[in-house]
Amino acid sequence: MSNAMVFESSSVPPLAGSTTFSPQERATWNKLRDRALEPTWVGKLDDSDELRAEFLAGAALMGYVLVDLDDEPAVAAARASDPQLEPLREHQLLLADALNSDDPRAAVEIPRRGTKTTTILSWCLGRCVSRPRYKVTFSAQTGMAGVSALDEWARDGLDRISPPDDEGVPPWLRGVKRKPAAQVRHEALFGMDAIPHAEPETYGRGFRVLRGNTKAGVYFDNGSSFQVVRPEAKAYRGKAADVSWIDEAQEIEPDDGAALLAGILPLQDTRPDSKIIVSGTAGEQRAGVLWTFLEQLRAGKSGMGGLDYAAPEDTPWSIVEDVDAAMELLETVHPGVGTLTTIETMRERWHGIPRPEWAREYLSLWPETYGERAVPGEWWTRTERGKRPPLPRRVAFGIAVKPGGGVAAIVAAYRDNKKRAIIEVVDHRTGTLWLPKRMQELSRKYPGCSIAFDDIAEGKATATEAQRLRPKPRLRMQTYRETAAGCIQFLRDLERGTLIHFTGQTGLDVAVERAAKRETRNDQGVWLFTPMERGDDITCLDAAVRALRNWDQHYDSKAGGDATGIVAA
């Protein structure tokens, strides 16, 4: 590869877009990508030259260049031209090919210090600079976090490579001239002689960065934009987007993430080939928008792309606790070790932060229970009764839907005059089509009752459909925090012997046997029930917890709730 070709590889294309991708660039890209650490899970890859050229355009704006570090002349030429340029790493090229797939959704999980965010940003900027009127929205865990990220990107990348005052334009733009927009318009309307003395002006950097809490983003001369948006559904109203990117999504609460997605989807109704990208590192709970996207990627669900660098889900905790074993495992799942960071630095992090946090941040290990049963078998057996009395007229209900909608359950709960919790499975069937009508029937049969549901995915969709019925069933949305409190109360009642269930409820018995715990906030001890193994059905238990929490919150007058439990339709 000649020295001249190296610099042609790193040039920023004109704002109208450039699709040139030389055979040398293709060979270098393929060689480097083939050397990338293999992700644990990866979706489809697109290796088209045009899309790769777009990514290089965005990478150049951030100071990255396509060069093989083993090619000493090429590296020397790049450094001589601009010492600020950094070489793209192998896994960054792999991620770009994964994002270029035609899947409408993408999940990206890479351990800390893996250039996850920088790579996705370069991909987004490349499309903006290459495609007129291309719209990208970006959200982080909070509105301020998004603005802070933009400020950092501008300071360390965009403004550093292309100073705003244009005193030091980057090498690939030096000496390039363009005509003012006004002159182009006059020539088109009146001919070349209309403004014979107009002189071309120096080509600027082609974009401006707006900071602050309103309209923060990168706005390009070609009409494209990369706009920072608060992670709230209402903040997306009235916008349109070709790409919507949510970063550090593990920090967004599950119910907030579901609402955010609901707000983002309409943005893309009129944008063909649009994409939603959700990225981050392992969170404190196996719930939320990032976990949902990763589960679909790991399951090979159609329409979900991206990549996931993560330790195997069955990794024994003893490996994490042993520094040498942990480092050995780390080298198999962290694409930045040896290039972006060192194993010595990783050892320091292992010694410096709590082990669960280190496992999440650097191994992408989501909190697990490692097969430990959450409900002691002797507690469950001790509280079982053979005779099942009829349900009273005043009860509370809860519903639960298995992820994917394959199974659903409805459970009733109330407390008797001795304050004992009584739970009974009302329905446990496959699918969800039957749920709305059954919910309406229960509201008619038990006046004043309410049905608790979770405001995430299938639960929310079912509740929305049920509300279209006339008369409407009486529903209560229950947040995951409220459900978590119900899980604790459920176990307390079992331990004290103040929870009664009945024989013959096979679905509930199996759910209790197969339920484990998943931590939601390690520092606060908050947890939810979760299946011991992927695919286990614990919907009866989830519905029972939700129903009992519904009663304790809204029916038990001594708990400070509504003494009547009546909810307006």
CA distance 479 to 462: 16
CA distance 307 to 116: 10
Full set of structural domains in the chain with CATH: 3-170+205-308 (3.40.50), 317-363 (no CATH), 377-559 (3.30.420.240)
The predicted structure's pLDDT at residue 177: 44
The predicted structure's pLDDT at residue 214: 73
pLDDT tens-digit profile of 437-478?
Answer: 999 999 999 988 999 998 776 777 888 888 888 888 899 999
The predicted structure's pLDDT at residue 457: 65
Strand partners, 531: 515
The predicted structure's pLDDT at residue 26: 93
413 closest CA partner among 269, 290, 554, 310? 554
The predicted structure's pLDDT at residue 293: 92
The predicted structure's pLDDT at residue 368: 60
Tens-binned pLDDT, residue by residue, of the chain (569 aa): 333 333 333 333 344 344 578 898 999 999 999 999 999 999 999 999 999 999 999 999 999 999 988 888 887 887 777 777 789 999 999 999 999 999 999 999 999 988 999 999 999 999 999 999 999 999 998 878 888 899 999 988 888 888 875 444 444 444 444 444 334 333 444 444 433 333 333 346 889 999 877 789 999 999 999 999 988 888 887 677 899 999 999 988 877 787 888 888 877 777 788 999 999 999 877 778 898 899 899 989 999 999 999 999 878 888 999 999 999 999 999 999 988 889 999 999 999 888 888 999 999 998 764 446 788 888 999 999 988 888 888 899 999 998 878 899 999 999 998 899 999 999 999 988 999 999 999 999 998 899 999 877 677 788 888 888 888 889 999 988 899 899 999 999 999 999 999 999 999 999 999 898 876 654 456 788 888 777 789 999 999 999 999 999 988 754 433 333 333 22
CA distance 100 to 17: 16
CA distance 77 to 3: 5
Burial 384-401 (b: 16+ CB within 10 A, else e): eeeeeeebeeebbbbbbb
Residue 508, amino acid: L
pLDDT tens-digit profile of 369-415?
Answer: 444 678 888 899 999 998 888 888 889 999 999 887 889 999 999 99
Radius of gyration of the chain (CA): 28
Ordered DSSP codes for 515-529:
EEEEEEETTTTEEEE
Q: Is 243 exposed, middle or buried (0-12, 13-18, 19+ CB in 10 A)?
A: buried
pTM recorded for the entire structure: 0.65
CA distance 85 to 89: 13
What is the DSSP code (8-state) at residue 367?
-
- Where are any strands of DSSP class E within 470-544? 475-478, 499-502, 515-521, 526-531
The token pair at 9 is 């590889």
Distances from the Cα of 550 to the Cα of 216, 422, 469, 544, angstroms: 42, 13, 22, 10
The predicted structure's pLDDT at residue 199: 36
* Cα diameter, the chain: 100
The token pair at 410 is 């409805």
The answer for residues whose C-beta is within 8 angstroms of residue 483's C-beta and 6 or more apart is 454, 528, 542, 545, 546, 549
> What string of H, E and C letters represents the secondary structure of 3-25?
HHHHHHHCCCCCCCCCCCCCHHH
Report the run of H or E that residue 149 belongs to, with start and end: helix 143-153
